[in-house]
C-alpha cells in the first residue's frame, strides 16, 4: 500500500506515502516516506522552501478539491500522518456550501510552520490555532491526499476561527498552466473572477451546518498580497523552529522527526519504522456514509 509520486523534480519522485488501516475509518493513516523509502514526518521533515531563493514552497495536500472528507495532518501523533478528523465521535465531512461541492481548492498545509497558540498576532489580535499554516491551492489539477507539490504564494486571508487566528494562504502550483500569468492576489481577481469571493463565502459558512456561528475575518475579509503572505509564512517557520528546539511549548504536539538532526526530538530510522509498523496494514475501504 505504498505509492510514490508527489513532488517530482528532475524526473524523480521525492516523497511517497504508505497507507495503514482501513480507509474511511477512524484508524486510517497515511504515512510519508522520502526518496530512500525511509519514514519521515511531513510536518517536520519536508522542507518549507522548495528552492534556494525562497520564492517556491512545498505544500502537503490533505484534501483534494471537490471532496468532503476532512483529512488533516495528525499533529498529536508521532510522525504526524494524515488522518480523517473526528468530531462528536464520527468521521468529519464538510457540508456542501451551495453552490459548491466539498472543498473548492486543493487544501493542505506548509511543512515546518506552526501557528503558535501563545503568540498574539499584532495584526489580528488573536493567538495562533496550534497547527501548520493552511494553504488553498487554486490550480486546475485535482490533487491527491499526501501529494507534495511546489507552489508559489499569491496572498493570504486572515480567518478568525472560534477566536483563533487561522491564516489561509492562497497559492498556485508552479507547474499549473495558469501559473505563468498569476503572480499576486490581483492576478487571481483578473484571471479567476469570483474565486476569491467564493473563498470568503466558503470559510464564513462552512461550519454553520454543524450548528456553529459564522466565522469572522480580520481586515474586513480583504485578501492581503503576496509580500504580506510570505512574511506571515516566514514568521510561522520561526515559531516552528522554536517548537522543534524546545524553545516554545507545543503542549501535546508530537515533534518526532528523522531529518532535523539538531532537534532533541530527532529519532532513528528504526524508531520511525517501528512507529508505522505498529499499526495494522491497509485494508479495503469502508463505504461512504
Number of domains, the chain: 1
| 287 falls within a domain | no
What pLDDT, in 10s, does the model give residues 198-252?
A: 999 999 999 999 999 999 999 999 999 999 999 999 999 999 999 999 999 999 9
- For 265, the grid coordinates are 526530538
Q: Is residue 76 domain-resident?
A: yes
Residue 262 cell numbers, joined: 539538531
- What pLDDT does residue 286 have? 77
Q: What is the pLDDT of residue 8?
A: 41
- On whether residue 289 sits in a domain, the answer given is no
Specify the DSSP element, H or E, that contains 148.
strand 148-161
Q: Give the Cβ contact number of residue 125 at 10 Å.
A: 10
Residue 86, Cβ density class (10 Å: 0-12 exposed, 13-18 middle, ≥19 buried): exposed
Task: Tell me whether residue 4 is in a domain.
Answer: no
Sequence-ordered alpha helix ranges (H) in the chain:
185-191, 195-205, 226-244, 269-277
Q: 3-state SS of 202-238? A: HHHHCCHHHCCCCCEEHHHHCCEEHHHHHHHHHHHHH
CATH number at residue 28: 3.90.80.10
- Rounded-to-integer distance, Cα 259 and Cα 123, Å: 33
* pLDDT at position 11: 30
Classify residue 9: in a domain, yes or no.
Answer: no
Digit-coded pLDDT (tens) for 123-147: 899 999 999 999 999 999 999 999 9
188 in any annotated domain: yes
Residue at 3 is within a domain: no
- The answer to whether position 11 is within a domain reads no
Instruction: Tell whether pTM > 0.85.
Output: yes
> Which tens digit of pLDDT belongs to each residue from 1-34?
666 555 444 333 699 999 999 999 999 999 999 9
- Supply the pLDDT for residue 9: 42
pLDDT in tens, 143-193: 999 999 999 999 999 999 888 999 999 999 999 999 999 999 999 999 999
- pLDDT 10s digits, 246-286: 999 999 999 999 999 999 999 999 999 999 999 999 888 87
Residue 187 sits in which domain range?
16-278
Taking only the tens place, the pLDDT of each residue in 42-100 is 999 999 999 766 589 999 999 999 999 999 999 999 999 999 999 989 999 999 999 99
For residue 153, what pLDDT is reported? 97
Amino acid at each position: 500500500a505504498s505509492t510514490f509520486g508527489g513532488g517530482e523534480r528532475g524526473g524523480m519522485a521525492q516523497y511517497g506515502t504508505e497507507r495503514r488501516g482501513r480507509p474511511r475509518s477512524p484508524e486510517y493513516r497515511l504515512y510519508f516516506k522520502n526518496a530512500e523509502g525511509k519514514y519521515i514526518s511531513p510536518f517536520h521533515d519536508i522542507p518549507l522552501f522548495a528552492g534556494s531563493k525562497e520564492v517556491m514552497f512545498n505544500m502537503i495536500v490533505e484534501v483534494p478539491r471537490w471532496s468532503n472528507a476532512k483529512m488533516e495532518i495528525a499533529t498529536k501523533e508521532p510522525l504526524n500522518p494524515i488522518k480523517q478528523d473526528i468530531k462528536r465521535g464520527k468521521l468529519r465531512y464538510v457540508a456542501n456550501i451551495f453552490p459548491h461541492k466539498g472543498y473548492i481548492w486543493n487544501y493542505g498545509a506548509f511543512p515546518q510552520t506552526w501557528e503558535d497558540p501563545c503568540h498574539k498576532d499584532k495584526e489580528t489580535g488573536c493567538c495562533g490555532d496550534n497547527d501548520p499554516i493552511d494553504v488553498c491551492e487554486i490550480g486546475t489539477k485535482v490533487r491527491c491526499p499526501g501529494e507534495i507539490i511546489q507552489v508559489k504564494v499569491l496572498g493570504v486571508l486572515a480567518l478568525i476561527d472560534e477566536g483563533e487566528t487561522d491564516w489561509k494562504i492562497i497559492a498556485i502550483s508552479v507547474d499549473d498552466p495558469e501559473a505563468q500569468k498569476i503572480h499576486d492576489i490581483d492576478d487571481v481577481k483578473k484571471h479567476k473572477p469570483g474565486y476569491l469571493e467564493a473563498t470568503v463565502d466558503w470559510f464564513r459558512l462552512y461550519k454553520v451546518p454543524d450548528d456553529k456561528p459564522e466565522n469572522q475575518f480580520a481586515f474586513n475579509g480583504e485578501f492581503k498580497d503576496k509580500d504580506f503572505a510570505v512574511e506571515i509564512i516566514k514568521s510561522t517557520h520561526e515559531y516552528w523552529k522554536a517548537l522543534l528546539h524546545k524553545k516554545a511549548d507545543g503542549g501535546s504536539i508530537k515533534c518526532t522527526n528523522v531529518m532535523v538532526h539538531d532537534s532533541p526530538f530527532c529519532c532513528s530510522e528504526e524508531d520511525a519504522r517501528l512507529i508505522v509498523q505498529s499499526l495494522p496494514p491497509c485494508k479495503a475501504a469502508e463505504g461512504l456514509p
